[in-house]
Amino acid sequence: MKRAAFFAVFALAACAPAAERAAAPAEPIPLRNAGFEAPARPGERCPVEWGCTMHADPDSFRFTLDSAQPAEGKQSLCIERVTPEPWAIAAQSVQARPLRGRKLRFSIAIRGERLSGAGAGPWVLVNGAQGLLMNEERPERVGGQWQRRSIEFVMPAQAEFLEVGATLLGAGRACIDDVRLEAA
């Protein structure tokens, strides 16, 4: 009788919703200068280890390191629209081959000021030998308090390069910090 009760409890535990079971800790995948702590290089548009791009006019967005209100550490990266161009991205590349087939979560701490248009949020792009395999962004009109936003995806089997970052779609200012890439 005791044995039957044990197996009944074991069976019920195995059927418990995933949220009730202990989740395995996420495995961090290192990113370079993920907290924007490296000092700015004179004459550079973007922080060390990051690439910054925008639609058409190269002076339409300003990328600055800001020490006023970082989410973590001493500074964050802020992207601000200066002239009416539609988008800007701050990103870095990661080798994708070792991550093929794995479920990944890319997340950023983000806050916004005066956002219009789609807003700001995390951005992911995956390229293979033949070109684009995946492009996802999650912009929203976030407010002035730090919030964590993420994109979860499975790395395609043909992936060669992964780019992760943040995008600003429209006007305003968005600040990002504490950038993470994790295998779920």
The Cα–Cα gap between 66 and 146 comes to 14
Give the start-to-end residue ranges of the domains of the chain: 27-183
Structure tokens at 112: 């916004």
Identify the CATH number of the domain defined by range 27-183.
2.60.120.260
Predicted confidence pLDDT, tens digits, the chain (184 residues): 444 443 333 344 444 444 444 556 789 999 999 999 998 888 888 999 999 999 989 899 999 999 999 999 999 999 999 999 999 999 999 999 999 999 999 999 999 999 999 999 999 999 999 999 999 999 999 999 999 999 999 999 999 999 999 999 999 999 999 999 999 8
The Cα–Cα gap between 151 and 107 comes to 6
pTM of the model: 0.85
